[in-house]
Structure 1
Amino acid sequence: MQNVLNALRVLDEVAARQPVGVSDLARAVELPKSTVQRALLTLREAGWLRQTASGTAGRWVLTTKPLLLGRHASGELGLRDVAVPVMEDLRGRCDETVHLAVPEGGKVVLIERLETSQPVRIILPLGKNLPLHASANGKAVLAASTPEEIERHLTEELPRFTETTVTDADALREELAAIRARGYATNDGEWRTDVSATASAVLGPSGHPVASLSINIPSSRLTSESRAAHAELVREAAERIGAALGGGHGGRPGGTSGGRPGGGHSRRTP
Structure 2
Amino acid sequence: MRNVINALRVLEEVAIRQPAGVGELARGLGLPKSTVQRSLRTLYEAGWIRPAGGGLTRWQVTGKARQVGRRAEFGLRDAAMPVMEDLRQRTGETIHLMVPEGDAVVLIERLETDKPLRIVLPLGIRLPLHASANGKAVLAHLSRPVAELPAYTETTITDPDALRAELAAVHVRGYADNRGEWRSDIAAVAAAVLGPDGPVASLSVSTPASRMPDDRRVEYGKLVTLAARALSESLG
Q: One fold, TM greater than 0.5?
A: yes
Aligned to 1:198: 189
Residue 106 of structure 1, CA deviation: 1.4
Contact 1:100 1:113 in 2 (8 A): yes
Q: 1 CA distance for matches of 2:104 and 2:161?
A: 20
Could you tell me which amino acid in structure 2 is paired with residue 226 of structure 1?
Answer: R
Alignment of 1:122 with 2:119, yes or no, is yes
Aligned to 1:99: 96
- Cα deviation, 1:93-114, whole Å, max 9, x if unaligned, reads 1000000000012110000000
TM-score, length of structure 2 as denominator length: 0.70
Q: 2 CA distance for matches of 1:232 and 1:207?
A: 24
- Cα deviation, 1:139-158, whole Å, max 9, x if unaligned, reads 0000011x2x2x3x2xx121
- Cα deviation, 1:15-62, whole Å, max 9, x if unaligned, reads xxxxxxxxxxxxxxxxxxxxxxxxxxxxxxxxxxxxxxxxxxxxxxxx
- Cα deviation, 1:185-223, whole Å, max 9, x if unaligned, reads 00010000000000000001x140000000001011112
Unaligned runs of 5+ in 1: 1-65, 247-270
Unaligned runs of 5+ in 2: 1-62
The alignment covers a number of residue pairs equal to 172
Q: 1:188 aligns with which of 173, 179, 196?
A: 179
Aligned to 2:220: 230
1:224–1:96: structure 2 CA closer, same or farther, 3 Å change rule?
Answer: same
Q: 1:158 aligns with which of 149, 153, 172?
A: 149
Q: Which has the higher helix share?
A: 2
Q: 1:208 aligns with which of 198, 209, 212?
A: 198
Residue 226 of structure 1, CA deviation: 1.2
Q: 1 CA distance for matches of 2:94 and 2:83?
A: 13
Alignment of 1:244 with 2:220, yes or no, is no
Contact 1:71 1:77 in 2 (8 A): no
Q: 1:132 aligns with which of 129, 132, 156?
A: 129
Q: How is 1:1-270 mapped onto 2 (pairs within 5 angstroms)?
A: 72-73=69-70, 75-145=72-142, 147=143, 149=144, 151=145, 153=146, 156-204=147-195, 206-246=196-236
Could you tell me which amino acid in structure 2 is paired with residue 244 of structure 1?
Answer: S
Q: Percent identity, aligned pairs only?
A: 59
SS at match of 1:110: strand
1:217–1:71: structure 2 CA closer, same or farther, 3 Å change rule?
Answer: farther
